[in-house]
Amino acid sequence: MLEKPQIIQATAKPTVIVHLTLSEDEIQNVMGPTLQELMSAVAAQGMAPTGPWFTHHLRKPSDTFVSR
């Protein structure tokens, strides 16, 4: 059973956004290396992720994925 939704206050956290438009065939080959590159860039600045990685798709997949 799901919990009742709650409104909470949270501290803002910086978020990196990378816009990609990929075919269905490309997404599995591109997303992993893209996340690795982001992790390397964050580490090079002496920082670490503060939460899990996530992707947000701007529309239902068809012939292409549009992620941000």
Q: Domain residues for 61? A: 20-46+57-67
pLDDT at 68: 56
Whether 27 is covered by a domain: the verdict is yes
Whether 34 is covered by a domain: the verdict is yes
- Domain total in the chain: 1
pLDDT at 14: 80
Whether 11 is covered by a domain: the verdict is no
Q: What is the pLDDT of residues 10-67, one digit of tens each?
A: 898 888 888 888 887 788 888 889 889 989 999 999 999 888 888 777 766 666 666 6
Whether 24 is covered by a domain: the verdict is yes
Whether 7 is covered by a domain: the verdict is no
pLDDT at 50: 82
pLDDT at 9: 94
Six-digit token string for 29: 């080959």
Question: What is the residue type of 7?
Answer: I
pTM of the model: 0.61
Whether 36 is covered by a domain: the verdict is yes
